[in-house]
Structure 1
Amino acid sequence: MIKENTKVGISLLLLGVGLGVAALFLVIFTELAEEVMENEMRRFDGSIINYFKAIDHPYLDTAMILITELGSVWFLTMLSVATVLVLGIKYKDKWGILFFLLAVGVGGLLTKMLKQLYERGRPSINPEIDAVGYSFPSGHSMGSLIFYGFIMYLVMRGNGRAAFKRLSIVFLGIVVLLIGSSRVYLGAHFPSDVLAGYIAGTIWLILCLIALEWIQWQSKSDVRPVHSIRNMLASMWNAIRKRFPANK
């Protein structure tokens, strides 16, 4: 019973931490969106945009165009198909597939909904680099963080060597940051759009991973969450009653 309660306690602690982080990021996103709508991010956006203008170069233009494609819908769709095939054929991970598709698919819908909600215009319109429609939050930034973030999770959960995991996470993290930077460099987004995309993507990714971990624990572990939580609460109540017996 003690061992079971310990497992449940640790899992609930991690669940609480995850939800707490998601809630914190939600507050940050809300504050950022309010600042954007009140046009309070001009100085922040302008300083970063001016920096990228100062380092403008034809070779860097080409590199940024290639990098921005790493977060495009068509590219992430191809990688998503490959990811689903690997999870299904090699690992037989049905829950992983379900929540991966949920994270990526619903994440895309959330991006569109947020864009329609805030209706912020872009710095410039350029269909060649997907710079069309509303600007806030950045779809490339949000989509890439969700997709590559989920891949980071799969790598961490895998059986690879620790050094490989660390290198993979660092590499994918750099890719996500470069994609966001490319959107600002190419004039497709304001920096605050990119920041908002990262924040919104983090919120949705955390919620999806929490749900995935919970369901996998419930389906694979001999410890049943609801039953175990009830037992843990009963044990705590009995301990309190013994410590503070009712007056007769």
Structure 2
Amino acid sequence: MKTIYNFLFILSVLCLVAFVLLANIYDSDFVKYFDIQTIKSIQGLEQPILTTIMKFFSYIGDTIQVIIISIIILVILYKVFHQRVELILFTIVLVGSTTLNVLLKTFFQRERPIFYQMVIEESFSFPSGHSMAALSLYGIISFLLWRHIPKQSGRIVLITVSAIFILVIGISRIYLGVHYPSDIVGAYLISGFWLMFTIWGFINIRERSLRKDRTAVNDSPQ
């Protein structure tokens, strides 16, 4: 178990390092070429039914919908699974991710793509807020619900559905013309860092608390 926790910390640091590197080169010719070619490829798939699907996924990634989903999950965690302490973790992940996104967008002030846009967005582009929220929300949902799903098949469904939502919400922002692919990649990296680092910190604090409780019980007079 300790090995898994250490791996979680290392992976979070790697995500942070990768984000910093991307943040320093997203304006380079190589990344610009990657962005343009990827946008052309994805928008080249445009079809009425696909546009409807992409607008739907983009819609559920909007702030209001994320708040509604978060409230539903909070109620489930509290009323159904009685996870009171985990509510704090859930809130820290979501609020922290949102705060990070606002700060980073304000710092980098990258303009939106000037290509074909199917929807209008007025805020800055890097990193993608929808993608950060998606990874944070569905990532923490998967972590918290995992142990309450006894069957392996149920866990596979949980991870698969979460991964689909995370990926398609990100792709939808490229398809709709409001983000560069590097915005999406950057969002996944920094949100992945925050999610894994917060989970790692939460687990460590909980383990220390449990060890103290066990020590107190063992030291108490019999």
Contact 1:141 1:198 in 2 (8 A): yes
CA shift, 1:40, in A, is 3.9
Please name the residue that 2:199 is paired with.
Answer: 209
Q: Which has the higher contact order (CA 8 A, sep 6+)?
A: 2
Contact 1:125 1:132 in 2 (8 A): no
> Aligned runs of 1:90-129 on 2, under 5 Å?
90-124=80-114, 129=119
Q: Determine if the alignment matches structure 1 residue 82 to structure 2 residue 72.
A: yes
Q: Determine if the alignment matches structure 1 residue 51 to structure 2 residue 16.
A: no
Q: Please, which runs of 5 or more residues in structure 1 have no aligned partner?
A: 1-9, 228-248
**CA distance in 2: counterparts of 1:39 and 1:184, whole angstroms:** 19
> Aligned runs of 1:1-248 on 2, under 5 Å?
10-11=1-2, 13-124=3-114, 129=119, 131-219=121-209, 221=210, 223-224=211-212
Q: Compare CA radii of gyration and give the structure with the larger one.
A: 1
Give % identity.
Answer: 26
**CA distance in 2: counterparts of 1:23 and 1:195, whole angstroms:** 16
CA shift, 1:215, in A, is 2.7
TM-score scaled to structure 1, two decimals? 0.80
**CA distance in 2: counterparts of 1:93 and 1:135, whole angstroms:** 36
Aligned length: 214
Q: Please, which runs of 5 or more residues in structure 2 have no aligned partner?
A: 216-222
Change (3 A) 1:87 1:126: farther
Change (3 A) 1:125 1:146: farther
More deviation in 120-129 or 107-116? 120-129
Amino acid at match of 1:132: E
Amino acid at match of 2:46: D
The CA RMSD over aligned residues, in Å, is: 2.2
TM-score scaled to structure 2, two decimals? 0.89
Change (3 A) 1:39 1:121: farther
Please name the residue that 1:3 is paired with.
Answer: none
Amino acid at match of 2:169: I
Q: 3-state SS of the aligned residue for 2:26?
A: helix
Contact 2:113 2:177 in 1 (8 A): yes
